[in-house]
Amino acid sequence: MWKLEQPAHAVANGYFVGAINRVGTEAPWNIGEFYGQSYFCDPRGQMLAVGTRDQDELVVADLDMDKIKEVRNTWQFYRDRRPDLYGPIVAD
């Protein structure tokens, strides 16, 4: 699920995601090993940079912010939104 859920959010919302996960185990819980692989993905859900599974490290990526507009214009999920009609849905 780790490499599926956040890219799906990036696609659904047309934005970049930086997902952080630790490595190793933590006392006193010892509930299992964390699987690392922090990553960045773009608005199309494509991985831009992925960390290792078992080492502490800094993961960096260049994010082309123009890609957000490009993806939103191409897929047009946001084009058909009607935020002016949300009022009755969220009213107390």
Over 80: is that where the pLDDT of 1 sits? Answer: yes
Q: Which helix (H) or strand (E) holds 10?
A: helix 2-13
Identify whether the C-beta of residue 47 lies closer than 8 Å to the C-beta of residue 41. Answer: yes
Eight-class DSSP state of 63: -
Look at 92 and 26; give whichever has higher pLDDT: 26
Give per-residue pLDDT as tens, 22-78. Answer: 998 888 888 888 889 999 999 999 999 999 999 999 999 999 999 999 998 888 777
**What is the model's pLDDT at position 6?**
96
Look at 5 and 80; give whichever has higher pLDDT: 5
Return the ∠ at Cα 42 (arms to 37 and 47), rounded to 5°. 35
**What is the model's pLDDT at position 70?**
93
Separation of alpha carbons 58 and 45, rounded Å: 21
